[in-house]
Amino acid sequence: MDSEDLLEKLLEAFYDEKIEPKKEAAKKILGLAARQENLELLISHEQFLSTISRTLRDEHKKSTELTLYLLCVFYIVSNYLEFHQILSEHQIGDITMKIIESQIQRFDLRYAELMEKQGQPQQLQELRKLNLMIAKQEKLFYVGFTILMNMAEDPIIENKMRKRKIITFLLRMLERNNFYLLIVTLLFLKKLSIVNECKMQMVEENCIKKLKRFFSADNNVLLQLSLGVLKNLSFDTEARLQIEQNGFIPDIVKMLKIPNYRFVSIVLLYLLTLDDKIRLTFGFTECMTLVVKLMLHFPEPVIGKELIALAVNLSTSSRNVDHITEQEFQQIVQRAITNQDTLLFRFVKGVIENSTNPEVQTCAKGFVRHFMKLLVTQGKEEDIKFEIIGIMSALDLQENWIKLLNEPFVEFLHNNLAVGMVEDDIVLETMMLVSSIASTQNAAEKLFKSRILNALSQVYSEKGDDEEFIVQYLYCLNQFLFHKIGISQILEQDEILIQIIQQLNDKNKKVQQMSEEVLAILREYDQELCEKIKEIKFSDYNQLWIEHLNEQELMLQDGGDMAFEDEYGGNELDPKMWDSDND
């Protein structure tokens, strides 16, 4: 008998009222479907899919074995993307969801019955029945969820599944122990977790807590998949908080030691370090130590972006950077200079700014000449320049600045304060560097001689509407005022005084406060400044009125009529109209 005749005979069995003939027919049809050459025959038969899908819909509560055979047929068909539309037309996704929901309800009912008989003679018998049912169910769940995962390649179908509680059903499967069922469950969760609505539902239904068990289990596949699910979930702030609260961070840090888990662990740890509070937790682990070792032994000249991004985030916490030894830091700086690695320079800056170890400053000072050489060299990338300027600002060089302020370096400072010629970020960073240099008297004097105040004032003129520039400008002036020469130089420049006074009425409270502090220092050394401030304030406040008077003066000079009509119709104001006692 050929395959077509056999199929016709098998399909007739599905019209029998008894279950056994249907089971036998389903088993043989599964044998046919298992051979690829028969698939075209099965799919093209006009009665095949409608018959077995109807049987599956009507009989799935009567026989788990029959249900499993028929689902296995659809499992084979669902592996081919071109057949998904046909499966959708026969509502296979809907039927499969109903079967899974029904089986979960059966388990809950049987488990409740077992709990009721706890301590009774029938308990052992009920437990055996439950275990037998679990074994059958797990095969069925594996096949059912694989069909749904294959069909979920279509986003529309995937969205329908989400609304039908697919995530709730999948999370129930994480409580099971069947290895293959757990694999398909984690794969499906990983796929769904990239969709924002699914991700939020997983977080709300404690998916993260349920994944904890796989970190203690000795199974590489389940652990790898769990890391993937966590990585996708950790784009959400609440998910990151749950990961930290459930104690995942030490476990994930340990994964850095194992090559197979290293990349996904680095990405996951990077996402976790996006939150300041969570970042502090890393200080109680060996994460910083392991990350530094990975950077020092990175095979390529430029460190991978995922690894260096994690390192940069960690470097913002002193609790983390204090794990770095002086020798490691020296090797890191040397590597950054040799390979001119921009992001590695950013890491170096973070370590210098946040380390409480004085040896870090000492070590970094040994590379100052190298940093300056990179800065003044023509043609350097703007990003590298930005990071190195930041490093120089973070160094506590004090009296050493006077030795470093040679002509090329001073020229570099002026060039990088030219708004429009360089990026705004570099101008801001250069202003911070000037503030750092100005804290030392001799260095400040040398800057004054180079007319650095004029350059700073010009920056204010160009970027006076940007509060970030205003704050940095006022801070620069404040640093210069620590020295008498700074006070005298600023007092001689009316334009700078006007710029400071203008900020007294700024909406930003921080700007107002800094302006007051600068003017308070200047008043101590120039009593006439108070009157000058009043004049400038008066002129600023009454600007329109003064402009009007100036216009009248011009009219007089041109021979115009001196008198003008006021809004009350007279040429002169009547004092009585301002006196409430005169009626």
Measured CA to CA, the distance from residue 45 to residue 77 in angstroms comes to 14
Please state which of the ranges 66-75, 89-98, 565-574 shows the lowest mean pLDDT: 565-574
Measured CA to CA, the distance from residue 40 to residue 29 in angstroms comes to 13
Handedness of CA 258, 260, 266, 269 (dihedral sign): negative
Cβ–Cβ under 8 Å, residues 106 and 67: no
Mean pLDDT of 89-104: 95
Q: Which two tokens stand for residue 219?
A: 């199974």
Q: Tell me: the pLDDT tens digits for 475-484? A: 998 888 888 8
Q: What is the pLDDT of residue 301?
A: 95
Q: What is the pLDDT of residue 579?
A: 41
Q: Taking Cα atoms as reference points, which of 449, 448, 433, 510 lies closest to residue 481?
A: 448
| pLDDT over 50 (residue 12) | yes
Question: At 422, phi and psi to the nearest 5?
Answer: -130, 170
Measured CA to CA, the distance from residue 291 to residue 39 in angstroms comes to 52
| pLDDT over 80 (residue 583) | no
| pLDDT over 80 (residue 538) | no
| SS3 track for 211-223 | HCHHHHCCCHHHH
Helix, coil or strand: residue 178: coil
Q: Tell me: the pLDDT tens digits for 380-400? A: 678 899 999 999 999 988 888
| pLDDT over 90 (residue 563) | no
The better pLDDT of the pair 559, 51 is held by 51
The better pLDDT of the pair 97, 39 is held by 97
Please list the helix, strand and coil fractions of the chain in percent, rounded to the nearest 5, in that order.
75, 0, 25
The better pLDDT of the pair 551, 322 is held by 322
Q: Which two tokens stand for residue 494?
A: 């009316």
Please state which of the ranges 184-188, 443-447, 496-500, 557-561 shows the lowest mean pLDDT: 557-561
CATH, domain range 1-164 = 1.25.10.10
| pLDDT over 90 (residue 208) | yes
Q: What is the pLDDT of residue 509?
A: 85
pTM exceeds 0.85 for this model: no
Cβ–Cβ under 8 Å, residues 521 and 481: yes
The better pLDDT of the pair 501, 200 is held by 200
Measured CA to CA, the distance from residue 357 to residue 328 in angstroms comes to 13
Q: What is the pLDDT of residue 503?
A: 82
Q: Tell me: the pLDDT tens digits for 14-28? A: 888 899 999 999 999
Domains in the chain: boundaries? 1-164, 274-391
| pLDDT over 60 (residue 409) | yes
| pLDDT over 50 (residue 578) | no
Q: What is the pLDDT of residue 171?
A: 96
Q: Taking Cα atoms as reference points, which of 210, 190, 201 lies closest to residue 162?
A: 201
The total number of residues shown for the chain amounts to 583
Show Cβ contacts of residue 195 under 8 Å, excluding neighbours closer than 6 positions.
158, 162
| pLDDT over 50 (residue 577) | no
